């Protein structure tokens, strides 16, 4: 079977990203910076051959993906399997609040306990299984082509770990930048890393009245 090229994107910035507030499955919109990032991303990918764009059905990811769809002309398909990890009872809290109000949970989270699931939420093990199955299904459907996946920080973290063989508990040493371009290769044997955290389209763009 031919390989499938994947362009994996974390959604543009939200106000809760700035506040370090846990979003999870809560449906938070892009802020002004996030909308600008989505437009810069769309320009960067405008000439890419894209068979389809799959996006988490949460609006911060869908709005980012819509900008890419408008630029490339590729069909945009909502994909709940690409949602962020569900953080259950932790959603809506800042990192600082979790440390203060729920210290035991904070410790297990900080240690990246793969089996820890916040009340009503999802463990890292469950998240990895969900993302691995979703990406395999989508990529296999487009063997030999290229697809864009627009998702969330937790999803991108899992993709990097799957592509590099990093364990769930390994400390993160890679970036999960909003609207960065990340490239992977999929075959039935798994994922391979091609390029990660390309932000040239954001670093070189001038944000003024014409590009805001």
For the chain, the residue count is 212
Active site residue 101: no
Active site residue 48: no
User: Which one of the listed residues 11, 62, 142, 201 is annotated catalytic?
Assistant: 11
Interatomic CA distance for residues 31 and 45, integer angstroms: 21
Interatomic CA distance for residues 24 and 84, integer angstroms: 5
User: Which one of the listed residues 79, 84, 91, 122 is annotated catalytic?
Assistant: 84
Report yes or no: 39 and 18 within 8 Å, Cβ to Cβ.
no
**Using the 8-state DSSP alphabet, how is residue 21 labeled?**
B
**Binding site members for substrate:** 10-17, 60
The SS3 of residue 94 is: strand
Residue-by-residue DSSP string for 140-159: HTTTTSEEEEEE-HHHHHHH
**Binding site members:** 10-17, 60
Q: Using DSSP bridges, classify how beta strands 146-151 and 181-187 pair: parallel, antiparallel or unpaired.
A: unpaired
Q: Which residues are catalytic?
A: 11, 84
């Amino acid at each position: 079977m031919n390989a499938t090229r994947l362009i994996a994107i974390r959604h543009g910035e939200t106000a809760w990203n700035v506040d370090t507030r846990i979003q999870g499955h809560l449906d938070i919109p892009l802020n002004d910076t996030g909308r600008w990032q989505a437009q810069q991303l769309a320009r960067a990918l405008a000439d890419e051959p894209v068979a389809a764009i799959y996006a988490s059905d949460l609006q911060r990811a869908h709005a980012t993906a819509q900008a890419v769809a408008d630029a490339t002309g590729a069909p945009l398909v909502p994909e709940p399997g690409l949602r962020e990890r569900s953080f259950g009872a932790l959603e809506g809290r800042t990192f600082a609040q979790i440390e203060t109000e729920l210290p035991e949970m904070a410790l297990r989270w900080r240690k990246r306990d793969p089996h820890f699931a916040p009340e009503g939420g999802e463990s890292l093990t469950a998240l990895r299984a969900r993302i691995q199955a979703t990406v395999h299904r989508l990529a296999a459907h487009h063997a030999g082509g290229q697809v864009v996946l627009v998702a969330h920080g937790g999803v991108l973290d899992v993709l990097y770990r799957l592509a590099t063989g990093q364990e769930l508990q390994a400390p993160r040493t890679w970036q999960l930048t909003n609207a960065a371009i990340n490239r992977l290769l999929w075959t039935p044997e798994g994922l391979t890393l091609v390029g990660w955290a390309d932000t040239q389209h954001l670093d070189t763009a001038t944000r003024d009245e014409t590009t805001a």
